[in-house]
Chains A and B, each alone.
Chain A
Amino acid sequence: MTAPDTAVSIGSMSMKNPVMIASGIFGYGDEFRGLAEYGELGALVLKTVTRQPREGNPPGHRTVETPAGMLNAIGLENVGLEAFVRDKLPAALEYGTNIVASIAGEAVEEFAECARALDGTGVAAIEINISCPNVKKGGMAFGVDAGASAEVAAAVRAATGKPIIAKLTPNVTDIAGVAVACERAGADAVSLVNTFSAMAIDVESRRPLLAAGSGGLSGPAIRPAAVYRVYQVAQAVEVPVIGMGVIWNASDALEFIIAGASAVAVGTALYADPAAGNRVLNGIRDYLESHSIARLSDIVGSVEL
């Protein structure tokens, strides 16, 4: 049997396989270099950048481990758009696979400005982060409102010819509604989930463990909740869905794919296993071969109810 076809397209971005790295997990790609063959993956999404540098949340614990998961409240610390394009992007492009920039802002115009500035660069696509639970202004404030999400997507659409991916928050009542609004506004794909708003408390001090009070939950704890949201969204939109929510092994990834995801992103698992993405990819290939499935796309959304 010839090797199964794992290619996926997100607008004009063609990926050789469906495995991506999720935004924020490995910064701009520098620090993990050498710990796995990241160039083998379909795409690498870099840490969300904003127009101006952000120092992020105040010092104190920005992450805490919780049962089968972790909370983070980094607060979108980033070097800012200019330094990103000048200092970070060139090295990331050397990975030799699709590099996706993730952008956020406090106002619609800020998203558009970032997108415009990235239009002339080598990024293969732009992810709009309207789902960060860890900043007071912007971020999730857009993502919890279908109208505001559509406004951001439309403004970014007008600012760039690159494929755009709207990254959705699960912290809403109707995630499919937000997804549809983004699709109508011109998003080429939607990705989900960002983290679930969450809190952990130290019972001795009666204070939250995170310095910021609350944060976002990722990890195995959220996977079934994420799979279900991917399923709901995939039922509602035509554009490709990128699924995530602790994909740790190939079976986890296949769950998302069968629920309706065309591609998947590996996040928190990278902290345990820097090569988790490669391991997931190899496992997906093995699965396709052992089940005699010629094309990955044959099983996307194949869940039978």
Chain B
Amino acid sequence: MSQAQRRAEPGAGGSAGRGPFRLRAEVVESEALPAVHHRVVLRAPEIAACAQPGQFVHIWCHPPAEIDRPPCDALLRRPYSISRLRPPDGVEILLRVRGVGGRLLAAKTVGDALDVIGPLGNGFRTWPDIGVAVVVAGGIGLAPVPALIARLAASGARVVLLAGAETDEKIPFRVERPRAGRATLPEVAALGAEVTFVSESVEGILITEVVALRLDELPEEGSAMFACGPRAMLKRLAEVASGHIPLQVSLEERMACGLGACRSCVVPVRCDNGTAYKTVCRDGPVFDAAEIDWERLTP
């Protein structure tokens, strides 16, 4: 009998020594979103009970009962950020369907089960006296943003979301363009953030340029920046933020184990004598931007 059918068992990884858990999670919502995006909500009590914004889950995309048969594709699990928690025990992920794994997940219907390991990695660190929290997201990098905004807003910070994409179709949320004023993402704004959205095709500006322009508005004390998106965006942000505002970035890399064991997913970090490597899956996915060796990070 597959272990996936057993109750969740605590493992060693994850933050604060809780989890990761492996469980058979029921799909309680599955919704196609505009363009190639999809929302899946899983009932995953053990994960929901301890997940932090920025952490991710590692999903076996085939039916749990078929774990004893090696598939020809989607052999490895797929990492997806926890987008937000849906009390009492739901975990929502937002995915852009890119390849076979995404297609399999998007085909799940309510009542299907998924074999999931999580929560994994270290999420965004937040602290009580953040005055202004600037969250910067590009494209599908918006996926983990709802949980982060909810956390920051609950801690009393003023949350400013600066989001961008090539086109409106490249994000998992609906864009609203009022006749007067800036484009916004109503669903995200409702979580307690002041939202600015720019698309290169409509507004013709990169979100990193917006960030650079607005950095001066921020109070010197008590501001913090959080970012998720393409590496080029994160690298540019690291330059802009350096010396001005503490920045945390969420990185992606190809994974095998997702647990920190196989050393597949390493990124270069600065250390006293040159560079060292840290794993995206266990040390990250969220890192202090100052820690990353941006010169050696592949584009």
Question: CA separation between A252 and B266, bound complex, in Å?
Answer: 32
* B297:A59 contact, CB within 8 angstroms: yes
A220 touches B2 (CB 8 A): no
Let me know if B268 is at the binding interface, CB within 8 A: yes
Residues of B within 8 A of A25 (CB): 257, 261-262
Q: Are B13 and A269 in contact (CB under 8 A)?
A: no
Q: How far is the CA of A67 from the CA of B267 in the complex (A)?
A: 26
A293 interface hit (Cβ, 8 Å): no
In the complex, what residues of A have CB within 8 A of residue B60's CB?
272-273
The reply on A36 being an interface residue by CB < 8 A is yes
Q: With an 8 A cutoff between CB atoms, is B40 at the interface?
A: no
Are the C-beta atoms of A60 and B298 separated by less than 8 Å? yes
Query: In angstroms, how far is the closest chain A Cβ from the Cβ of B24?
Result: 12
Contact of B256 among A246, A249, A271 (CB under 8 A): A271
Cβ 8 A contact of A77, one of B70, B77, B253, B277: B277
Q: Which residues of A contact B258 (CB under 8 A)?
A: 271
B76 interfacial by beta-carbon distance below 8 Å: yes
Q: Which of A68-76, A144-152, A294-302 lies on the face that meets chain B?
A: A68-76
Q: Which residues of B contact A198 (CB under 8 A)?
A: none
Is A142 positioned at the interface, with any CB of B under 8 Å from its CB?
no
Question: Is A133's CB within 8 Å of the partner chain B?
Answer: no
- Asked whether B75 lies within 8 Å of A34 as measured between CB atoms, the reply is no
**Which one of B255, B260, B266 contacts A31 once the chains associate, using CB atoms below 8 Å?**
B260
Given A35-B22, A59-B298, A272-B75, CB of A74 within 8 Å of CB of B262: yes
Q: Is A39 an interface residue (CB 8 A)?
A: no
Chain A, residues 15-39, CB within 8 Å of chain B (1/0): the string is: 0000000001111101111111000
Q: Mark B250-288, 1 if CB is under 8 A from A, else 0.
A: 000111111111111111100000001100001000000
* CB-nearest residue of chain A to B64: A273
A77, B258: Cα distance in complex, Å: 16
Band of interface residues on A? 35 or more
A61: Cβ under 8 A from any B Cβ? yes
Give the shortest distance, in Å, between A108 (CB) and chain B (any CB).
Answer: 26
Q: Which of B3-11, B84-92, B126-134, B241-249 contacts A (4 or more CB under 8 A)?
A: B3-11
Min Cβ gap B279→A in Å is 9
Contacts of A249 in B (CB 8 A): 68-70
B177 is an interface residue with CB less than 8 A from chain A: no
**Would you call the interface of chain A mostly helix, strand, loop, or mixed?**
loop
A274 and B70 contact, CB distance less than 8 A: no
* Nearest opposing residue in chain A for B269, CB measure: A59
Interface centre among A27, A56, A272, A274 (most CB of B within 10 A): A272
- Cα A285 to Cα B274 in complex, Å, equals 51
Please tell me which one of the listed residues A30, A58, A67, A283 contacts residue B12 in the complex, with CB atoms under 8 A apart.
A30
A26 to B257, CA, bound (A): 8
B13 neighbours in A (Cβ, 8 Å): 31
In the assembled complex, the Cα of A40 lies from the Cα of B286 at a distance in Å of 35
- Chain B 65-114 interface residues, beta-carbon cutoff 8 Å to A: 67-77
Closest chain A residue to B115 by CB distance? A273
Q: Which residues does chain A contribute within 8 Å of B72, judged by CB atoms?
A: 67-68, 220
Task: Report the minimal beta-carbon distance from A169 to chain B, rounded to whole angstroms.
Answer: 19
Given the complex, which residues of B lie within 8 Å of A274, measured CB to CB? 3, 22, 117
- Tell me whether A141 is interfacial, beta carbon within 8 Å: no
Q: A275 CA to B261 CA in the complex, in Å?
A: 15
Contacts A31-B12, A55-B276, A279-B3 known; A268 to B261 CB distance under 8 Å?
no
CB distance from B98 to the nearest CB of A (A): 12
Of the residues B2, B75, B277, contact of A55 by C-beta under 8 Å: B277
Please state if B261 and A59 are interface contacts (CB–CB under 8 Å): no
Contact A219 B70 (CB under 8 A): yes
Report how far A219 CA is from B20 CA in the complex, Å.
25
- Chain A's closest residue to B255 (CB) is A63
Interface string of A167-180 (1 = CB under 8 A from B): 00000000000000
Taken together as a complex, chains A and B put the C-alpha atoms of A248 and B258 apart, in Å, by 19
> Closest CB of chain B to A61's CB: distance in Å?
5
Given contacts A31-B261, A268-B256, 8 further A-B contacts (CB under 8 A): A62-B264, A65-B74, A68-B73, A219-B75, A268-B75, A270-B257, A271-B75, A272-B70
Q: Can you list 21 pairs linking A and B with CB atoms under 8 Å apart?
A: A26-B257, A26-B261, A27-B260, A31-B12, A34-B9, A34-B11, A35-B9, A35-B117, A62-B264, A68-B71, A69-B75, A70-B75, A72-B256, A72-B262, A72-B264, A77-B277, A220-B72, A271-B256, A271-B258, A274-B117, A275-B2
Q: Which 7 A-B pairs have the closest CB atoms?
A: A27-B261, A275-B3, A34-B11, A31-B261, A220-B70, A248-B70, A31-B259
